[in-house]
Structure 1
Amino acid sequence: MNFNFLSPVSDLVLAHNELLSTQALGRKLKIHSEQHGIPDLDDVEIAIIGVLENRNDINYIGEEFQLNEIRKSFYSLFPGIWNTTIADLGDINRGESVEDTYFALKESVSILIKKKIIPVILGGSQDLTYANYRAYDSLIPMVNIVNVDAQFNLGDSSKPIKNNSFVGKIILDQPYNLFNYATIGYQTYFNAQEEIDLMDSLYFESYRLGQVSNDITIVEPVLRDANIVSIDLNAVRGSELSLNQRYSPNGLDGKEICAISRYAGISNKVTSFGLYEYKPSSDDDMTSMLIAQVLWYFIEGVNCRVKDDDFQDESSYQKFITLVDDQELVFYKSNKTGRWWIEIPFLAEVNNKLKRHTLLPCMHQDYQDACNNKVPDRWYKAFQKNCV
């Protein structure tokens, strides 16, 4: 298996790991080391990959970075009641060009997903999400991306890719595989009104910071439907982070970002997860520990996954039908988990790739709204995209 572009975890981190309790997470991982090489991946379900690439950061001034502090923090945590085997495959170093790094990441993600292993990417700049997305070209026909971010990152797609414009490239570059793009925690004053309008006109979803902080559960359905989850650390409130990492006095707090991460883990569809825009500083303890805890909650979520979206067996769900403006809406509720879905009707005359999107995750509130003659927002947007 070709993982030539991965460099091992540093001896410094491994030496630190030896001093930890035998119960600590770091002592239970399969780790890519200089001494033993890449571990056997046969029973691995989650693999951590660092990507030391930040040259497409719009603020890049030549600085390099390492992920050692994050690893030390993560290794020192204790696992939950987990039954997944986790590997740390080390880092993808900068390529000769940024495109070389993209290629290495794309290949690594593709290999892992084919082996039914979830890659967890620890990155520099968030444009690496583009390479993560391209790994799906040969895997599935349509991709859903959730971006936890203060900004939409649509940018000017006619210009070279940067960490504030990679979504424009994802939307406009062939092959066109993007079905839904959703942003969680966006802050209006960081986004041009044209971008906000564009998100609406493309029927993409966006959840304002205030909405998310008011009720964190509203983001669970969109994460349940995601294939790729990408987190920009700039979405986190400055007071929760180390000096270099601070971006905005407003943002998600530590509990909220961990809850979002756990929802991503619980989702049966999420097959890759990335954390980006890490900027180390001398007082790095806060940022590295928060990232470690976000990773911990994602893995916790993966261990709590329940297969509840197979609606073949009639005893496993309840079905509810309601009328909204002469439109029949069909809801399903899982008896196992209590989670809800809504059916999107197929338009026979439309040639679409949507064979797997007949059921859309939703909330109990959407059903209650439909009973009160209000069309659920997620259903409306998915239906409109289906018509395009």
Structure 2
Amino acid sequence: MPFEFLEPVSSNLIADLMKFDKKSVGRNIYIHTDEWTVPDLKDIDIAIIVINETRGSILDNPVLLDFNEIRRNLYKLFPGNWGVSIADLGTIHPGNTLQDTYYLVQEITQDLLKADVIPILLGGSQDLAYYQYRAYDVLERMVNMVNVDATFDLGNVATTLTNQSYVGKIIVDQPYNLFNYSNIGYQTYFNSQEHIDLIEKLYFDAYRLGDVITDITIVEPIMRDADLVSIDLKALQNSFVSPEVISPNGFNHREICAISRYAGISDKVKSLSIFECFQENKHQYLLIAQMIWYFIEGLNYRTNELNIKSKKETLHYQVPVEDEILSFYQSSITKRWWIEIPFLPSGNNKLERHTLLPCTYNDYKRACNQEIPERWYKAKRKNEV
């Protein structure tokens, strides 16, 4: 296992731990130090890993945040009524080549996934999300990716992988394990019409910043269907991120924390990454710490409704729309909704887990008014292709 390449958390920070309250997060988690090695994965549920890598960024000499300050802010917080064990496994430093770093990110994430440990990855350029995604290859199933970002990052797939082309690489590179890509918070003026049209042509989902801000709850069913989530800090307003980002528009601190919590609540999400942690801004340290806190808080409220269709207490509704009979399912416990997607027995067993699509009560009401939900149509078309 490649955990031997993880550098322990700074001894200076560990020395400061004794100054924190005994009930704080930092005093109640496993921490990889010079004295304490990486714990047995059987003993942990969530693993925090810092990736100190920037060579995949298109920026010239980007300056990373001080990740120990993020840790310090997280360690000082008080946990909620949590029943999960958390470990800070340390830091991946740049390898001799960028490919060396990529290899470690994929291998470590893969080992954590196999051990049913949820990794929280904090790092530099978002090209690292490509190898967060590639780690899922070991699971041998189609996956759904959610990206909180102002841009689609489709880039030029014919050139070297960068933080502006990693989504394009995910789409075109083998093995083809991507079932759906959802973007939350894109800003039209940062994306070419060609890329907007391509997202639509591939039946992917994209939600404009204004629509999400108007109703933040639309994020919940999107996250409920996600296997991995990656957040680009450039999706935030410039007042909450580095001075390098000059856009006045983006998510504020409350919205990004709500989005992080929705990601945690999802029964399917198996990894979270927060990338583009560039430049120095004191507000970022506590904000990123709180994003992590809200993700863990959400995880503690998971309700294990992955097999909602088979539960006896689940309510089932059939709605005829045009020449289709739409099947809706509602949890009698959480009141959340799903819609069934017709599964074509094409022999591709990787698709079987995608026959139920999370939706909203409004989707059900629209179907009753003879409107086919757009996400249902896109998912159905992907199953048919």
TM-score, length-scaled by structure 2: 0.97
Given that 1:352 and 1:386 are in contact with CA atoms closer than 8 Å, whether structure 2 keeps it comes out as no
Corresponding residue number in structure 1 for 2:103: 103
What secondary structure, in the 3-state scheme, does the structure 1 residue paired with 2:351 have? coil
Corresponding residue number in structure 1 for 2:257: 258
Amino acid at match of 2:248: P
Which residues of structure 2 form unaligned runs of 5+?
none
Corresponding residue number in structure 2 for 1:168: 168
What secondary structure, in the 3-state scheme, does the structure 1 residue paired with 2:376 have? helix
Given that 1:54 and 1:60 are in contact with CA atoms closer than 8 Å, whether structure 2 keeps it comes out as no
Deviation at 1:247, TM superposition (A): 4.0
Corresponding residue number in structure 2 for 1:366: 363
Corresponding residue number in structure 2 for 1:353: 350
What secondary structure, in the 3-state scheme, does the structure 2 residue paired with 1:154 have? coil
Deviation at 1:309, TM superposition (A): 3.1
- 1:322 counterpart = 2:316: no
Deviation at 1:4, TM superposition (A): 1.5
CA shift in 2, pair 1:349/1:125, >3 Å: closer
Given that 2:51 and 2:124 are in contact with CA atoms closer than 8 Å, whether structure 1 keeps it comes out as yes
What secondary structure, in the 3-state scheme, does the structure 2 residue paired with 1:185 have? strand
Corresponding residue number in structure 1 for 2:206: 206
Task: Please give the alpha-carbon distance, in whole angstroms, between the structure 2 residues aligned to 1:249 and 1:97.
Answer: 36
Task: Please give the alpha-carbon distance, in whole angstroms, between the structure 2 residues aligned to 1:313 and 1:323.
Answer: 22
TM-score, length-scaled by structure 1: 0.96
Amino acid at match of 2:118: I
| Superimposed CA distance per residue, residues 243-293 of structure 1 (whole angstroms, 9 cap, x where no aligned partner) | 35x341100111111111111101111000000000131xx3200110000
Corresponding residue number in structure 2 for 1:240: 240
Deviation at 1:15, TM superposition (A): 2.1
Given that 1:53 and 1:101 are in contact with CA atoms closer than 8 Å, whether structure 2 keeps it comes out as yes
What secondary structure, in the 3-state scheme, does the structure 1 residue paired with 2:121 have? strand
Corresponding residue number in structure 2 for 1:186: 186
Pairwise CA RMSD: 1.5
Task: Please give the alpha-carbon distance, in whole angstroms, between the structure 1 residues aligned to 2:336 and 2:140.
Answer: 25
Deviation at 1:24, TM superposition (A): 1.0
Given that 1:308 and 1:336 are in contact with CA atoms closer than 8 Å, whether structure 2 keeps it comes out as no
Task: Please give the alpha-carbon distance, in whole angstroms, between the structure 1 residues aligned to 2:36 and 2:304.
Answer: 36
Corresponding residue number in structure 2 for 1:177: 177
Task: Please give the alpha-carbon distance, in whole angstroms, between the structure 2 residues aligned to 1:208 and 1:386.
Answer: 25
Which residues of structure 1 form unaligned runs of 5+?
none
Task: Please give the alpha-carbon distance, in whole angstroms, between the structure 2 residues aligned to 1:314 and 1:165.
Answer: 42
Corresponding residue number in structure 1 for 2:276: 277
Task: Please give the alpha-carbon distance, in whole angstroms, between the structure 1 residues aligned to 2:151 and 2:241.
Answer: 18
Task: Please give the alpha-carbon distance, in whole angstroms, between the structure 1 residues aligned to 2:55 and 2:105.
Answer: 15
Amino acid at match of 2:316: K
Task: Please give the alpha-carbon distance, in whole angstroms, between the structure 2 residues aligned to 1:152 and 1:328.
Answer: 34
Corresponding residue number in structure 2 for 1:31: 31
Deviation at 1:352, TM superposition (A): 6.7
Corresponding residue number in structure 1 for 2:216: 216
Task: Please give the alpha-carbon distance, in whole angstroms, between the structure 2 residues aligned to 1:360 and 1:326.
Answer: 20
Corresponding residue number in structure 2 for 1:286: 283
- 1:40 counterpart = 2:49: no
Task: Please give the alpha-carbon distance, in whole angstroms, between the structure 2 residues aligned to 1:42 and 1:309.
Answer: 23
Question: More helix per residue: 1 or 2?
Answer: 2
What secondary structure, in the 3-state scheme, does the structure 1 residue paired with 2:41 have? coil
CA shift in 2, pair 1:248/1:94, >3 Å: same
Corresponding residue number in structure 2 for 1:120: 120
Task: Please give the alpha-carbon distance, in whole angstroms, between the structure 1 residues aligned to 2:123 and 2:242.
Answer: 17
Amino acid at match of 2:261: R
- 1:344 counterpart = 2:337: no
Deviation at 1:210, TM superposition (A): 0.4
Amino acid at match of 1:251: G
Deviation at 1:64, TM superposition (A): 5.7
Deviation at 1:171, TM superposition (A): 0.5
Deviation at 1:13, TM superposition (A): 1.6
Amino acid at match of 1:360: L
Corresponding residue number in structure 1 for 2:22: 22
Task: Please give the alpha-carbon distance, in whole angstroms, between the structure 2 residues aligned to 1:312 and 1:230.
Answer: 28
Number of residue pairs the alignment of both structures matches: 385
| Superimposed CA distance per residue, residues 225-251 of structure 1 (whole angstroms, 9 cap, x where no aligned partner) | 11110000000111223535x341100
Given that 2:64 and 2:278 are in contact with CA atoms closer than 8 Å, whether structure 1 keeps it comes out as no
- 1:300 counterpart = 2:297: yes
Deviation at 1:11, TM superposition (A): 1.3
Given that 1:84 and 1:303 are in contact with CA atoms closer than 8 Å, whether structure 2 keeps it comes out as yes
